[in-house]
Amino acid sequence: MNAIVRGVGAFLVLSVAAFFMSDYHNDVYRKLLLWVTLALGYNFLFGVCGQVAFSHFAFYGIGAYSIVIFLFQLHLPFPIAVLCGIALCVLFALAVAIPSTRLEGFYLALATLALGQLFVVVLNEGGSVTGGTGGIANYRLPELFGMRVRGPWYTAVIVVLLLATYAVLVRLDRSWFGRACRAVRDNPEAAAAMGVDVARTKVIAFTLTSALAGIAGMVYAFVDNTVNPPIFGIENAFLLLFMVIVGGAGRHAGAVIGAVLLFLLPFWLSPLVGHHHALVFGVLVVAAILLQPGGLVGIYDSLAKRR
Amino acid sequence: MSAPILQVEKLTKRFGGLTAVHELDFEVREGEILGMIGPNGAGKTTTFNVIAGTYPATGGEVRFAGEPILGLPPHRIASRGVMRTFQHNRPFAGMPVIDNVLVGAHTRFAAGLWSVVLGTARRDEAQRRTRAEELVHFVGLGELREADVATLSFGQGRLLEIARALAGEPRLILFDEPAAGLTPPECARLGEIIRGIAARGIAVLLIEHDMHFLLPLAQRVVVLNFGAKIADGLPHQVRANPAVMDAYLGSHAAAQ
């Protein structure tokens, strides 16, 4: 009951804000919400499960491209296009996870890095299906029940996506599954002795978080009403990793703080360093790893403890 | 006499040319504490790891509750009711004590992943948590329930290993040198806990190096040397057995 009240409260605060913003700020705000959603999912995969994967952003792209292709190239009805998009993400996730999670961490990183790169190549070479280097544009969200969700109302849809993703991840984290994921991360042999199927746990976590990224990608497809290869480049996969590390890996609050900070930082930094904010990010990540492995949330924790 | 829960027959484990365990036979009965002793390198821990599924066996048969378990992966053996502790404590570092114990209960959760996501698994979670808290109290870590495992002493870490193994509701629990590294008062407390576990009807297989700890505790003892059983029986019989004295103290001492 309490959780529902808090959820509705968060929804109202986060979505009402959108109605007081200019179009430009609404656009920035939507992308911020999407980055937070992605960082939450990636935090579960990287921070909670300890899987160093670089495919999370590629699944975001698979979701975005698949909804556009299913709707506007194959002309599937909206609900079926959504289900097909999710199914596609799950299939790709299983195809990557089953062989690579059986290997040790380093190989998962390599396999997912390859997937991320390959995805961009496929997009560029996809001809009329993916629209090649120019991607696909000039489409609009289909009408649902005679209405088209637009403007700040679409921002409210993204708020729902964010809160639903958060709710799913928090529930998983606080359950036997979340504890199994952490146990597998900390000590796989001891986890197996406790009855945890290590390979299965890894595959489920990878597939679930990848599917969540795919759903976020479907929502993203109607933010700019265009999908093209440069958006889904591999540097965004690293940006996600940086967000989670700087914020504090393994903590939902860390993912939120890291995503907000690193998303907004370029806006503040651009008058100072132009487009070289990646340098600042690099310094932040190295500083976090060397000085504060708990990230910004870890700093908050140690301050709170001292008090 | 109660029924055997674990039956080991002609168990053999070779690492390349080295035979670590050779045609070993023994059984553990329900509610019994079976001690397994032997000098360093006698094959105790290897036997233990083969039963728990960590190493594949080279030959022989292991039956648990009448069914063969050799060849099953460790998590399947655990879910059938064989839980273990580690000689070197292996807590899950990122979790408090109670969550570590709840990982031990992993196979006992009834709610599936969908009901977790839909939020209908709360009662299952609450029941398991209550049970885990009882176990934390049983081993004497009640006040450290929410403590970070990194703050536990070595002895407390060993107690956590035991609570975690019990959370899986085992019918057989395997202790790998549980007294190693403990102070004498901690050893005494450990002995009480192990007796309490057996009194609950759980079979205990206790591998131990330290005869002074094991002999008063075990109901029967199996003695290994160079991978083979050299004696078994009641603790006082084993203590008086010349082959055992030979293995532990050398043939010169046995002759005297």
Nearest CA in chain B to A169: B117
Cross-strand bridge partners of residue B12: B59
Q: Where in chain A does DSSP place strands (E)?
A: 136-137, 226-227
Residues of chain A in contact with residue B168, where contact means CB-CB under 8 angstroms, are 194-195
Amino acid at A169: L
Determine which of A235-244, B36-45, B93-102 has the lowest per-residue pLDDT on average. B36-45
Q: Which residue has the higher pLDDT, A234 or A259?
A: A259
Query: ipTM score of the complex?
Result: 0.91
Query: How far off is chain B from A211, nearest CA to CA, in Å?
Result: 14
Interface of A with B (CB under 8 A): 3, 168, 171-172, 174-177, 179-180, 182-183, 185-187, 189-198, 204, 250
Report in angstroms the alpha-carbon separations of B162 from B97, B132, B167, B186, B197.
12, 12, 9, 13, 10
pLDDT at site A307:
67
Nearest CA in chain A to B75: A195
**What digits encode the pLDDT tens for the residues A85-131?**
999 999 998 998 888 776 666 888 888 999 999 999 999 998 888 88
Contact A196 B93 (CB under 8 A): no
**Which of B71, B60, B70 lies closest to B23, judged by CA?**
B60
B94 closest CB neighbour out of A174, A177, A250: A250
pLDDT at site B149:
93
> Contact, A248 vs A42, CB < 8 A?
no
Contact A190 B116 (CB under 8 A): no
Contact A171 B119 (CB under 8 A): yes
What is the C-alpha to C-alpha distance for residues A209 and A202, in angstroms, rounded to an integer?
A: 11
pLDDT greater than 70 at residue B251? no
> Element (H or E) spanning A33, and its range?
helix A23-42
Report in angstroms the alpha-carbon separations of A44 from A37, B40, B197.
11, 43, 37
**What digits encode the pLDDT tens for the residues A289-303?**
888 888 898 888 888
Average pLDDT value for residue range A40-44? 97
Question: Which value, in Å, is the radius of gyration of the alpha carbons in chain B?
Answer: 19
Please count the other Cβ atoms lying within 10 Å of the Cβ belonging to residue A14. 18
- Choose, out of A49, A174, A176, A189, the residue to mutate when testing the contact with B (most B CBs < 10 Å): A176
> Contact, B128 vs B102, CB < 8 A?
yes
pLDDT at site A39:
97
Indicate the pTM of the whole model: 0.92
Return the percentage of chain B with pLDDT > 90, whole number: 74
What is the C-alpha to C-alpha distance for residues B113 and B121, in angstroms, rounded to an integer?
A: 9
Per DSSP, the three-state class of B109 is: coil
